[in-house]
Amino acid sequence: MMNRLRRRTRLARGSYALALLLGMLFGAAPAPGGHTAPAQAATGDLGHIGPSTSGDGSAATGEKPESKLWWNDGAWWAVLFHTSSQTHHIFRLDRSAQQWIDTGTAVDNRPKTRSDVLWDGTRLYVSSHVRASSSADAAAGNPARLYRYRYDAATRTYTRDAGFPVQINSYSSETLTIDKDSTGVLWATWTQGSTVYVNNTTGGDAVWGTPFALPVTAATALDSDDISSVVTFGTRTGVMWSHQPKSAMYFAEHIDGASRTTWAVTRTAIQGPNNADDHINLRTLQDDGSGRVYAVIKTSLDDAGATTSAPLIMLLARDPSTGEWSSYRVARIKDCHTRPVLLIDSEHRMLYVFMTAPDSGCPYTGYPGTIFMKSSPMGSIAFPDGRGTPVIRDALSPNMNNATTTKQSVTSATGMVVLASNDVTQRYWHADIPLGSS
């Protein structure tokens, strides 16, 4: 992983002059009211060009387990960077014009932070953390914050609730995700040093306990590159984490209402030589409460010299009756995919995976390029071979990466909106994909 990142850094430096030229030719000037005027599309583009990310650092739509979008009141919303103020704001997608409209509601006033959002039907929760390149680079004095907002349907605006933000922890981290269990308790997880950490609310949304190491087997002695993610399902909360020294992905469960430090025995979601990497995106089927949980992950088989037909992207599925996990190949090494995210179509019982890959060839896995989509029925999981259907492409600067979307299940009423970013041109892009009626 680190060798690929170094190669990518050299490529990015070599593209700096090109980035400046592309920014002048295809960049957008701020429009009145702080909105960003749309840029012109080029022949071969797929998706829609969005606001600038200038000032927010690399991977504006990262990190892998986190969700930046949500669906509410017949519209898609996102937490995006606002370049004029160098802060993060809530934006609404105008689907008629395919433009992100700044609502003026500020979130984190710190640039280069990364967020994870949760809409529970009544309140909007945004966790925001200072981004560290790995858990080894995490530093104290950089607290992760929780923001909470109420929604006004008459004005289509969000207002921050009194008493927020509140502090989740006091460290920067590579990732941090949140979810809310059936009793109304909020949970958060991240990796710190070589350990998986969690925290939860202990007296309403504004009162958080003391962060603690996840008290289960295999939650320590991680690689500094490893990450964790949290998901709630039915009456349980689950945490999945990568453990590259053990070549495994693990999952631990907590029963809602039990002591915060009481967790079930660790289950192995997948294990085998080079079967773990720091790529996790968790989802649950939200409409039936059955405890069906899915994850898309990346293996490290590309680093092990495996054949090009070896699995690179995998889908993991939890059996709600036994709690055991099964694995299914989504893509092979030769497809060159990275950074997968998952959407569940609850209406048509379909799984959609969005991943980055170059349009052809494979300089190395992790190379930016185009966002591709693959799909499979939930009842008979099988993904087609190949790179999939391209859905977001910048034809003049093939440097798209870090797809992100919503924690929520989608239907024909919502469609699918996926967001990505181009580090070279410093722009957001999105795809708006309809789902047919049942």
* Residue ranges of domains in the chain: 2-433
Mean pLDDT of the chain: 90
Lowest mean pLDDT among 226-230, 257-261, 302-306: 302-306
Q: Which residues of 333-352 are buried (b: 16+ CB within 10 A; e: fewer)?
A: bbbbbbbbbbbbbebbebbb
Which residues, in sequence order, are CB contacts of 420 under 8 Å at separation 6+? 47, 61, 356, 371, 392, 400, 401, 402, 403, 404, 428, 429, 430
Instruction: State how far the Cα of 70 lies from the Cα of 406, in Å rounded to an integer.
Output: 5
pLDDT grade for 134, boundaries at 50, 70 and 90: confident
Residue 233 vs residue 37, higher pLDDT: 233
Is residue 328 over pLDDT 60?
yes
Q: Above 90 in pLDDT, residue 247? A: yes
How many beta carbons lie within 10 A of that of residue 255, not counting itself?
15
SS3 content of the chain, % helix, strand, coil (to 5): 10, 45, 45
pLDDT at 139: 82
pLDDT in tens, 161-187: 999 999 999 999 999 999 999 999 999
Instruction: Report the C-alpha gap between 331 and 387 in whole angstroms.
Output: 7
pTM over 0.85: yes
Confidence of residue 40 (pLDDT cuts 50, 70, 90): low
Rounded distance between C-alpha atoms, residue 348 and residue 376, angstroms: 11
Q: What angle do CA 381, 387, 389 make, to 5 degrees?
A: 85
Question: How confident is the model at residue 436, as a pLDDT?
Answer: 83
Highest mean pLDDT among 1-10, 17-26, 39-48, 252-261: 252-261
Tens digits of residue pLDDT in 337-391: 999 999 999 999 999 999 999 999 999 889 999 999 999 999 999 999 999 999 9
Pick the CATH number of 2-433 from 1.10.8.350, 3.40.640.10, 3.30.390.30, 2.120.10.10: 2.120.10.10
Residue 355: closest CA among 383, 379, 323, 381 = 383
Asked if residue 189 lies in contact with residue 228, where contact means CB atoms within 8 angstroms, the answer is: yes
Note the pLDDT tens digit of each residue in 282-304: 999 876 667 799 999 999 999 88
Task: Tell me what the mean pLDDT of segment 185-191 comes to.
Answer: 98
Number of Cβ atoms within 10 Å of the Cβ of 193? 13
Ranges 3-7, 52-56, 123-127, 154-158: which has the least confidence = 3-7
User: How far, in Å, CA of 256 to CA of 236, rounded?
Assistant: 5
Beta pairing partners, 220 = none
Dmax over CA atoms of the chain, in Å, equals 58
If one compares 134 and 396, the residue with the highest pLDDT of the two is: 396
